[in-house]
Structure 1
Amino acid sequence: MIEIPTTPQPARKQRFYQILYVQVIFAIAVGILLGHLAPSLGESMKPLGDGFIKLVKMIIAPVIFLTVTTGIAAMSDLKKVGRVTGKAMLYFLTFSTLALIIGMAVSHLIQPGAGMHIDPASLDHGAVATYVSKAHDSTISGFLMNIIPATMFSPFVSGDILQVLFVAVLFGIALAMIGERARPVIDLLTALASPVFKVVEILMKAAPVGAFGAMAFTIGKYGIESVLNLAMLVGTFYITAVLFVVVVLGAVARYNGFSILKLVRYIREELLLVLGTSSSEAALPTLMQKMERAGCSKSVVGLVIPTGYSFNLDGTNIYMTMAALFIAQACDIPLSLGDQILLLMVAMLSSKGAAGVTGAGFITLAATLSVVPSVPVAGMALILGVDRFMSECRALTNLVGNATASVVVARWEGELDKHQLDAALAGHPLPLDTNAHPHQIQQTGAPDAALPAEESAQAA
């Protein structure tokens, strides 16, 4: 009997309204409309946004723990853990400093606060008192001590990203040191990753609802008019952030063999989610999964992205120097070169001390200004009304910066599958099998090995 070969049926194409980022765009638009036309009703939508962010935070700890632990356990050379972390920190330090300098340079060039002539004595100190008190509590030593959890299990209760990362790294190193006897535990954790990422997939279906609620609240509470009053500052910040991504990160991406614009398009769902919710944490689980699918090894993604959420804050750093100089310009306070250098140094340190704190950008700014006496801390009241709108741009820039960092560090380590990266950025990402053994997921040297069996046969 002759078997007639059957032609495989093409996958059913999604209708445009079934695509997540289309749904999120529509939800954001409706949220803006509701917040503008019915401010009180829009403000009452806040629980929808808060609820979605809580849902995502619920799953962040298991995602980080499973990804990092199984990634490190698969490493044959434990020195690689320290090497990857060291390279990531070098990258973070370089581009964080560059972001601070760019924010300061653009503020000098455009001078968004010039001509306002605000009397510092007329500023409302009480409006920013809460942020100042939190900033005083955010010291470098306190931040470092907080990385060490009270117990091995408490990070899973508190949801602190760095504490979860700390426990995951230790546990992964322990499994790698035990060797073959740890195989049952590694297999269990690897198998557990599949339902955990399925939970992420389920939760993402609620993303449009969360984006709608958060955007309706923001517009309803603060109003579009508040942006118009400080349009020069907000516009300057957004333009600077876009230029940083396109020019600076674009040059880094080009040097490392990929396009920053294609990367931005690849993570567009995560960017729209951040835009709608003003929370970069909302996109953390899916960003990690996407960067693995783009050819970055599990161990690199697990170490770089969660650490970058605290140490690689490009958008926050641009905001800090720009906001500080805006306040000085608005209050007609001249800053000497020494004052500006001090501002840069303090901003670099305080951005680490306030990392992981809700409203970290504004708290970091308070911590910086409290150490630089030339600029009044009360001047933060000038930008309090638009900080929510600027926080979205901070989070978007931070997200792109961390996605770029994971690709760059993976390439430095020889842990980047260029074939998978090119396929993902071209809009045809290869499927990621979360049931696969960590060694199978980390494809670095043989591009065709990452292809499904049918595609490998065709490629041959």
Structure 2
Amino acid sequence: MTATATPPPPGTRRSGRWWTSLPFQVLIGMALGILLGLVVPGVAARLKVLGDIFLDLLKAGIAPLVFLTLVSGIAKAGNLRQASRIGVLALVYFEVISTIGLVVGLVAANLVPLGAGASSLAGRADASSVPSDDGPHGFVDFVTGIMPDSFVGAFTSGQLLEVVIVALIFGIGLLTLPARMQQRVHGGMEVISQAFFGFVNVVMRLAPIGAFGAIAYAVGTSGTDLLAALAQLIVQYWVVVAVFFFGVFGGVLALAGVNIWRLVRYLRLEVGLTLSTGSSESALPGILDKLPRLGVSRQAVGLVVPTGYAFNLDGTSLYMPVCTLFLANAYGVPMGLPEQLALVGIMMLTSKGAATVNGGTFVVFAATVTATGILPTAGLPILFGVYQFMSRATATVNTFGNVVAAIVVGRLTGQVDRRTVDAVLAGRAAPLPPPGTAEPDTAEPGTADRPTVNTTR
């Protein structure tokens, strides 16, 4: 059976019409935004609303999609043992890779004295421009803060972890029902899930406009003086991100038998959206749709990806040590190896809260700086001035890290169809049809390397 009758998702390239593809339109929007921000910064600074509208519309479908996908992943496990196995492996993987990110960030910041020439900017900071922390973020506060006080409230709080917790409990409860009732509930949720994917697909047509407004605002408001003064930090941070992205992710994917360049090409729209908006959430709907089409079982995707958006923040793990040592160098605060190791211990906890507080990575970073008690908070506005440029790299690593996690955990649990993955990434076959058509839902352990569909054109 072939899937030629299935309409391609937004952003899929059609033969002979590459200029109409969504990824190309997003790139054009980004280029125009940069140009406008450099030529007419005053006008560009007013276009933030375009990016905000796009992200707000997209976020309206994020929480329901995460809930439905995670519950579906648990339901497809068929039993708590299988779901628990995937979940435990995912959490172990998250912690290992995040810790590697922290270590890479610390090593890079020690090799190059970031911030040594930035002390002259200390007097230029405007503290009013920094997003304020909305409360304490210690470990106890983190745990209590992610617990929803109502089912509906989890979807309106804006905190993804609350949705994840509700979905986990709901999915486990679903497994306790009789088999016939499970099938009826699961079938209804499949239909609703497809409806939300349709909603997101419509919103995605606005992605070029959203990317244009977000980039124009970023360039128009930062100012050339500040960009010049902190250019070294930005460039070096992007270099660190590139090394981690292609070195760590590339190595992990190679062990899983996947070529990172082909995977990036397959997810070029999602990577482009994250780079342009600086938001990991902008890529989530596409990832939830494309990974099952690639050959990763919906069970693995549904369990790993939504959970990873809350616990697997590899980009945040890179950002925090680099910028912390930048402040230490800029203000002449000595930080030896013991202090840095203690810093890593704090960040291993605080970095997990980046998805649960207003302001994301930067607010958690600010809370960590405050928690150390030895770094000046006066330097935070300086870093916030270029945060919007650095956040794009951070968000991209966070997003792609969850893709890698789903593939690796899927391989370890027999939830990846190797032949389909190889064929799709090599361009020898079209992606599998969307859920609800002729797609196999899961790959049973021991059969992951056996093709489940006819992948010939």
| TM value normalised by structure 1 | 0.90
Q: How does 1:37-186 map to 2 (within 5 A)?
A: 37-118=39-120, 122=123, 124=125, 126-127=127-128, 130-131=131-132, 133-134=133-134, 136-178=135-177, 179-186=179-186
- State yes or no: 1:431 paired with 2:422: no
Deviation (angstroms), 1:270: 0.6
Q: Is the contact made by 1:139 and 1:353 (CA closer than 8 Å) also made in structure 2?
A: no
Q: Equivalents in 2 of 1:336, 1:252: separation in Å?
A: 31
Q: Is the contact made by 1:118 and 1:332 (CA closer than 8 Å) also made in structure 2?
A: no
- The equivalent of 2:38 in structure 1 is 36
Greater Rg over alpha carbons, structure: 1
Amino acid at match of 1:175: L
Q: Equivalents in 2 of 1:128, 1:45: separation in Å?
A: 18
Q: Equivalents in 2 of 1:317, 1:448: separation in Å?
A: 37
Q: 1:70 aligns to what SS in structure 2?
A: helix
Deviation (angstroms), 1:196: 1.9
What percentage of residue pairs aligned between the two structures are identical? Answer: 36
Q: Is the contact made by 2:34 and 2:219 (CA closer than 8 Å) also made in structure 1?
A: yes
Q: Equivalents in 2 of 1:27, 1:301: separation in Å?
A: 30
Deviation (angstroms), 1:396: 0.9
Residues 120-159 of structure 1 deviation map (CA, whole Å, 9 limit, x = unaligned):
7x5758347743x43x532322222233222222223334
Q: 2:434 aligns to what SS in structure 1?
A: coil
Unaligned 5+ runs, structure 1: 1-7
Amino acid at match of 2:15: K
Deviation (angstroms), 1:446: 6.2
Q: Is the contact made by 2:417 and 2:450 (CA closer than 8 Å) also made in structure 1?
A: no
What is the Cα-based RMSD across aligned positions, in Å?
2.4
Q: 2:223 aligns to what SS in structure 1?
A: helix
Quickly say closer, same or farther: Cα 1:127–1:261, change in 2 above 3 A. Answer: same
- The equivalent of 2:11 in structure 1 is none
Deviation (angstroms), 1:366: 1.2
- The equivalent of 1:404 in structure 2 is 404
Deviation (angstroms), 1:377: 2.1
Q: Is the contact made by 2:270 and 2:287 (CA closer than 8 Å) also made in structure 1?
A: yes
Deviation (angstroms), 1:115: 3.8
Amino acid at match of 1:188: G
Q: Is the contact made by 1:190 and 1:437 (CA closer than 8 Å) also made in structure 2?
A: no
Amino acid at match of 2:404: T
| TM value normalised by structure 2 | 0.90
Q: Is the contact made by 1:191 and 1:434 (CA closer than 8 Å) also made in structure 2?
A: no
- The equivalent of 1:386 in structure 2 is 386
Q: Equivalents in 1 of 2:226, 2:394: separation in Å?
A: 18
- The equivalent of 1:188 in structure 2 is 188
Deviation (angstroms), 1:17: 1.4
The correspondence for 1:22, drawn from 24, 36, 46, is 24
Amino acid at match of 2:140: S
Count of matched residue pairs: 443
Q: 2:34 aligns to what SS in structure 1?
A: helix
Deviates more, 1:283-292 or 1:153-162: 153-162
Unaligned 5+ runs, structure 2: 8-13
Deviation (angstroms), 1:76: 2.3
- The equivalent of 1:332 in structure 2 is 332
Q: 2:390 aligns to what SS in structure 1?
A: helix
